[in-house]
Amino acid sequence: MSDDNHPSWPALSVVLLPVLLWLLAATVSAQADESMPTKPGLSETWFVIRYDDQPVGFEQIQVDSAANGLLRCHRKTELNLNRMGQGVTVSASLWTSQTPGGMLQTFHLQRVDGSGARVERSGMRSADGRRFQVNEKVTATRRQYDVAVPADTRSPIVSLWLPSVAMASGSRATVPVFFPESSAVSDVTFHQLRNRTLRLSDHGQVDARCFEFSVQADPASATTLLTDERLHVLRQEKKFLSRQLSLEATSAENALSAANGKSLDLDVQAGVPVDRLLSVSANRQKLILDLVITEGFLPRIPDSTFQSVQVIDESTARITLTPPVVPRPDLGRGSQIVPTALPATRWMPTNDPVLLRYVAVAVSAETDPGMICQRLEAFVHSKMRRSPFSTSFLPADEVAKIWKGDCTEHAVLLATLIRIKGIPARVVSGLVHTNRLFGFVGHMWVEARVHDRWIPFDSTLGLDGVGTTHLKLSDSEMPDSMTSGVSLFLPVLELAGRARMQVVSDR
């Protein structure tokens, strides 16, 4: 469509994408240093996207501090909107590094639109700060070029910097912003409005600060940001095709459930099918699989001690799994356990007296880290009662009160008990193979640092090691800033329905 009332997709992207913080990119960056590991200091915000008060998508924004003082940011957006015959379907992800004030340094964009067209674009600011050196792949075409930019060019994730800059400016201000969607700079004009009472989804209300901004490409169409006193964005609003388009801050569960219109549990259980049954031999020395993406981008799958990944092409990754081996005690080396417990967190309260007693009972006088982890794995497996799968999380001390749960409760509790002994441990999300469901399904387990190697332990299955059945997608130390565990399952959710496994070697 190209008449005056219904702009074509290129024009529509100029109008709509700034509203949704320019709806950027797709799944997971193919570059390790571009990914967003969950660690202490990382913050996460979820939004449900509504059009005419109906949920049409979600957005997730993560922010972490890098050692060089920059912020590493990740924004993921899923949108499926149809209005008056116009469809806007976008799956997008954007990774940036930027200063706390929003000065953009690097970006990496991946986006898939409703037609299946894929765009991948990355850029780095030049040493003189006057241009971005851009690498681009659109469908099968690759090119490199420079884009001239002003020295004060800011990030397109405007919600992270605009409210504080607007407060500091005290009046109307205009700054240049680089939009990777169009690979161009456009001026953004903004100012502060009077406070407004905002009714929240939990039926409460807050006296919200209001900021309005518009993009030079569409100066007549403004977006309103409403924030709390700490300038955290609660809601964004804009008129689009005569109706209201909004993003409202909510929990991860609410955002994903509203956008998908179905249970998160069902999404996770959908899993990834495999082309044939695998042998159940515990003696298998190697399993080689091809993970094939049928639509969208191939996600980044991490290498680990017992998992190696080779990218074959833009849709296929070859994954080699070997059985983990727990290092045996080395009497000459002695124990490497840190004598004090690792710091307590909201999810892993290592100072809880009940948990301390459980560790003393399970471990007894054992001092070798590998043997301690195995004893704790067996202890949790023997005491926990199984419950239906859920993406919800309980802190370890709450799990120990009921001794009931699925793989998420197992993982959080086991990681905490291991950390009480001074052994670094983290939870891992990914896929586990099951012939019963003819493929791989979402699962969570634990990795512990034993004699300088990250070793997997799985109290849910209670195996002597995890064998070659577990495929890792992400890990987390579950910091206090993490409000839920749903984000840990996003890599699993993103594979369900758009990926399949092919067995290359099973021996």
pLDDT by residue (tens digit) across 159-201? 899 999 998 887 889 999 999 988 889 999 999 999 999 987 7
Q: How confident is the model at residue 389 (pLDDT cuts 50, 70, 90)?
A: low
**Positive or negative CA dihedral for 11, 12, 17, 18?**
positive
Q: How confident is the model at residue 35 (pLDDT cuts 50, 70, 90)?
A: very low
Q: How confident is the model at residue 365 (pLDDT cuts 50, 70, 90)?
A: confident
Three-state DSSP state, 177? strand
Give the per-residue pLDDT at 53.
83
- The C-alpha atoms of residue 62 and residue 73 are separated, in whole angstroms, by 6
**Count of Cβ atoms closer than 10 Å to residue 386 Cβ:** 12
Tokens encoding 256: 């994903």
Tokens encoding 17: 């994408």
Which stretch of 271-280, 308-317, 478-487 has the lowest confidence by average pLDDT? 478-487
Query: Are the CB atoms for 75 and 157 separated by under 8 Å?
Result: yes
Q: How confident is the model at residue 66 (pLDDT cuts 50, 70, 90)?
A: confident
* Enclosing H/E stretch for 213: strand 205-215
Tell how strand 131-138 and strand 141-148 pair up.
Answer: antiparallel
pLDDT at 21 over 80: no
Instruction: Write down the residue that tokens 């998992």 correspond to.
Output: 307
Percent of the residues in the chain that have a pLDDT greater than 70, as a whole number = 80
- The C-alpha atoms of residue 378 and residue 87 are separated, in whole angstroms, by 53
Q: Chain-centre distance of CA 380, in angstroms?
A: 28
Q: How confident is the model at residue 467 (pLDDT cuts 50, 70, 90)?
A: confident
Give the per-residue pLDDT at 483.
67
> Counting Cβ atoms within 10 Å, is residue 63 exposed (0-12), middle (13-18) or buried (19+)?
buried
pLDDT (mean) for 379-394: 80
Query: Are the CB atoms for 108 and 29 separated by under 8 Å?
Result: yes
pLDDT at 1 over 50: no
Three-state DSSP state, 312? strand
DSSP string, 394-462: --HHHHHHH-EE-HHHHHHHHHHHHHHTT--EEEEEEEEEEGGGTEEEEEEEEEEEETTEEEEE-TTTT
pLDDT at 498 over 90: no
Running DSSP on this structure, what letter comes out for residue 204? -
- The C-alpha atoms of residue 441 and residue 320 are separated, in whole angstroms, by 18
- The C-alpha atoms of residue 442 and residue 52 are separated, in whole angstroms, by 34
Tokens encoding 373: 């982890």
